[in-house]
Each structure stands twice: as C-alpha cells, then as structure tokens.
Amino acid sequence: LTSARVTKAFDIKSEPADVRDRYGRNKFGQSLLLTRRLVEAGVPIVQAAMGIVQTWDTHVDNWGRMKNTLLPQLDQGLLALMDDLTASGLIQDTMVIVMGEFGRTPKISTLPGQSIPGRDHWPNVYSALFAGAGIRGGQVIGESDSIAAYPLSRSWDPADVCTTIFEALGVPDHVELLDPLGRPNRLLNGETISPLYT
C-alpha cells in the first residue's frame, strides 16, 4: 500500500481526459478506471464499490434508476475496463466479477408512503458476471424458473464464489484460518464453479 507504484496509481487525474471520459465521469466509471490502474500497478485484489450501501437498493423506482443511471454507468465503465484489460493482455491474469450480495424480488411492490414501485431483497436467485483469468466467455450458467424466483438448475452460493476466487489466486485447498479461540476454519469451503472454465 505504501509503494510508489500504488501511490501513482491513485492519481487518476494523470489519465488523459478522453480516457476518463471513456470510463464515465461518475463514481462508477472513475472507480473502474482506478481499478485498472491498481491492477497495472500489481495490486492482486481490487474491489471496486459501485456506490454507497444503498446505491443499488431499488425498493423505489427500480426501472427508472436502472435505466437512467445505474446500468448506463456500469455498462460504460465496465466496457472501458474490459477493453483496456484485453488490449494490454492483463485480462489473461485478471478475474473480473460483477455481483451483489442478493437479487431482487420477482414481485413488484410499493413501499408505504411511496408512489413509484420497486423490487425488494431476494436471496434465492441473482446474477453474477465473470470474465478473464481463463474463464470461457459467452455462456450462461444456471437457470431459474419463469419468474426468476427459484433456481431450476444447480445453484452456486457465496462459498462457491469465494472458493473459485481463492483457487484462481493459487490458494491451496487445505488452508485453514484459526478463529480467536483457535478453532480451524477451511478457507476454501465451497466448490469451484467449474462450468466457468469448460
């Protein structure tokens, strides 16, 4: 964190104006530009937060917020990031994951006191995008029922996502972490999402 390369990476104002514009002059876009710069500086894990805690919490005006702000900014910044990682060859060694911690209800609802409907929290089905680091692109893994309420095919959980990431980082599957009482906890406690690679 104190290396000159990382310090320099945080200076996104040194990027040409057209590059900053290509990522989008918003928090999403500039976070993804910073992500690219940190990857180029050799930082092994970067988490780009796409807004404050409630940014994607679309209980109210789900469709307006998604169509007019959230998805256009994410699409623009992510396209620029993927283009740059591909052009530099870094995509071969960089796993890109876009996901949240849950999905949205298949049922539309209106909160008390609100007039524009939205969608609430839904942990049973949600999507994630994976790219780079040997992942075979252009495929859809898994299937939900007709209203995106429950999985029809094998589902993957957060432990599987973490195991897939740790395996890509080269963490051995036998690694254990000890809790404050000295009890062992396996770090890789899920299954690798192998269809990503096949």
pLDDT above 70 covers a percentage of the chain that reads: 100
Residue 194: is its pLDDT beyond 90? Answer: yes
Using the structure block, give the residue that is written with the tokens 């029922």.
Answer: 145
Residue 190 CB neighbours (<10 A): 17
N-terminal to C-terminal alpha carbon distance within the chain: 36
Residue 198: is its pLDDT beyond 80? Answer: yes
Tell me what the mean pLDDT of segment 54-83 comes to: 95
3-state secondary structure of 121: strand
Instruction: Look over the chain and give the mean of its residue pLDDT values, rounded to a whole number.
Output: 94
State residue 93 phi and psi, 5-degree precision.
-115, 10
Long-range contacts of 134-140 (CB under 8 A, 24+ apart): 134/92, 134/168, 134/197, 135/95, 135/196, 135/197, 136/196, 136/197, 136/198, 139/195
